[in-house]
Structure 1
Amino acid sequence: MDGFEGEASTASMVSGASSPYQPTTEPVRQNRGWRGVQCDMEYIRSLFGVLKCSQVLLALLAFICIETIMECSPCEGLYFFEFVSCSAFVVTGVILLMFSLSLHERFPHINWTLTDLVNTGLSALFFFIASVILASLNHKSGAEISAAVFGFLATISYSVNTYLALRQWRFGNRSQNIRQSSDYMRARSESRDVDCRPEIQRLDA
C-alpha cells in the first residue's frame, strides 16, 4: 500500500507538471488608474493640438477682457459673449486634456472625431455671432475692442479646426464603408464557393 501510494503521488506530480492548466506566474494586470496617464507630445505638436491650444488661450483672453468691463448698455451682448467664451474655454479645455493625456482611448465607445467636429463647429458659429454683436455695440472701450478681436481670432481657429475635423470624419466613414463592403463581398464569394461544391455540403451533412 505504501508503494502504491508513493507511485500514485509520483504520478500525480508528473501529471501535474505536464498539465497545460498550470497557474501562471505572470502578475495579473490591474487598472493603474491615473498612474498610467502620460502627456502625448506628438498630439500637442500636431496641427490639431496647436489649434486646440490656441482656442483655449483665445477663449480665455476673450473671457478675461469681457470680465473687465464694468459698465454696459445694453448688456445682453456682453452677457452672451461672456457665456460663449466661458463655455468654449471649458469644453475645449476638457477635450484638449482628453487628447493630450490620451484619456480618450479609455472611452472607445465615444466618437471623438464627431465630438470634436460638433464642438468646433458650434464654437465657431457662436463666437462669430457674439463677436459681431459685441463689435456692433461700438462703445470704443479697450476691453470691448480686445474681446472682439480675440473673439474673431477664435472664430478663425475654430473654423479651421472644423474643416479639418470634417475631413477626418468623412475619411473615417469612407474607410469604414469600404471595409464593410469588402467584408460583405468576401462573405458572398465564400457562400458562392460553397454552393458550387455540393459534395462539400454532403460531406458536412
Structure 2
Amino acid sequence: MEDTESAGTAPPPGLSSLLPPREFLRSRKGQLLLAESVLSFIIFICYIASLAASFMMAPLLEFLLALFLFFAYASKLNEKFKGVHWPLADFLRCVTAAIIYFAISIAAVSKYSDGASKAAGVFGFAATIVFAIDFYITFNDLVTFLKQGGSDSPEGHKTE
C-alpha cells in the first residue's frame, strides 16, 4: 500500500518525461525554437494544400531540424555532446532557413494565385523574421563566446 502512495505523489515516468522543462519554455531560445517549429509546420501544411506543393520539402526539413534542436536544448543534449559546436550549427541553420524561406515565400506569393500558396508565403515571411531574430541573437552569443574563450587557447570553448 505504501508503494502506491509514494507513486501517486511523483509524476508518472511516461510521456511527461518528454515534455521540456518550464524554465526552457520561458527562455528566449525556447520560445524562438517553439515559434520556428510551429511556423514551419503551418507552412508545411499550407504548401501541401496549395498548388505550390513543390516547396513543401523546405518547411518539412526546417520543422524537423527546429524540433530536434528544441528537444536537444531542452534535454541539455548540447552539454552532453561537447564535440558538436551547437551555437555554430544553430546559427547556420537559422541563416539558411531565413534565406530559403524568404526565397520560396517570394516565389509562392508572386507565381501562384491560390489562397493556400498566399498563406504559405505570408507565414513564410513571418518565419523569415523569426529565423532572422534567432540568427541575430545566436550570432551575438557566438561572438561573445568566441571573445571569452576562443582567443585564449584553442581549447578555450571546452573549459566552461
TM-score, length basis structure 2: 0.79
Distance 1:162 1:178 in 2: 22
Structure 1: distance between partners of 2:38 and 2:19: 22
Q: From the CA coordinates, give the structure whose radius of gyration is larger.
A: 1
Partner SS state of residue 56, structure 2: helix
1:43 is displaced (CA, Å) by: 2.2
What is the root-mean-square deviation of aligned Cα atoms in Å?
2.1
Q: Are 2:148 and 1:175 aligned?
A: yes
Give the structure 2 partner of residue 42 of structure 1.
Answer: 23
Match for 1:173: what amino acid? L
Larger CA deviation: 102-111 vs 39-48? 39-48
Q: Tell me how far 1:41 sits from its aligned partner.
A: 2.5
Does the C-alpha gap of structure 1 residues 64 and 37 become closer, same or farther in structure 2, counting only changes over 3 Å? closer
Match of 2:36 among 44, 55, 66: 55
Q: Say yes or no: does 1:165 pair with 2:146.
A: no
Q: Distance in 1 between matches of 2:81 and 2:49?
A: 39
- Rounded to whole Å, the distance in 1 between the matches of 2:18 and 2:123 is 32
Distance 1:37 1:150 in 2: 28
**SS in structure 2 at match of 1:110:** coil
TM superposition outliers: structure 1 runs of 4+ over 3 Å: 36-40, 177-181
Contact 1:113 1:165 in 2 (8 A): yes
Query: What are the superposed Cα offsets for residues 88-129 of structure 1, whole Å, 9 maximum, x if unpaired?
Result: 101111011100121222211111010110101100010000
Distance in structure 1 (CA, Å) of the matches to 2:150 and 2:68: 30
Looking at structure 2, the residues matched to 99 and 87 of structure 1 have their Cα atoms a distance apart, in angstroms, of 18
Aligned residues, how many? 139
Instruction: Mark the CA change 1:177 to 1:67 in structure 2 (over 3 Å): closer, same or farther.
Output: closer
Percent identical pairs in the alignment equals 23
Partner of 1:202: none
Q: Is the 8 A contact 2:20 2:71 kept in 1?
A: no
Correspondence for 1:95: 69
Q: Identify unmatched segments of 5+ residues in structure 1.
A: 1-35, 184-205
Q: Secondary structure at the match of 2:83?
A: coil
Matched with 1:28 is none
Cα offset, 1:37, TM superposition: 7.5
AA in 1 matched with 2:92? V
The answer as to whether partners of 1:51 and 1:161 remain within 8 angstroms in 2 is yes
Aligned 1:50-89 pairs, distance under 5 A: 50-69=31-50, 72=51, 78-79=53-54, 81-89=55-63
Q: Which runs of 5+ in 2 are unaligned?
A: 1-16
Equivalent residue runs for 1:89-168 within 5 Å: 89-139=63-113, 141-168=114-141
Contact 2:36 2:130 in 1 (8 A): yes
Distance 1:180 1:103, change over 3 A: closer
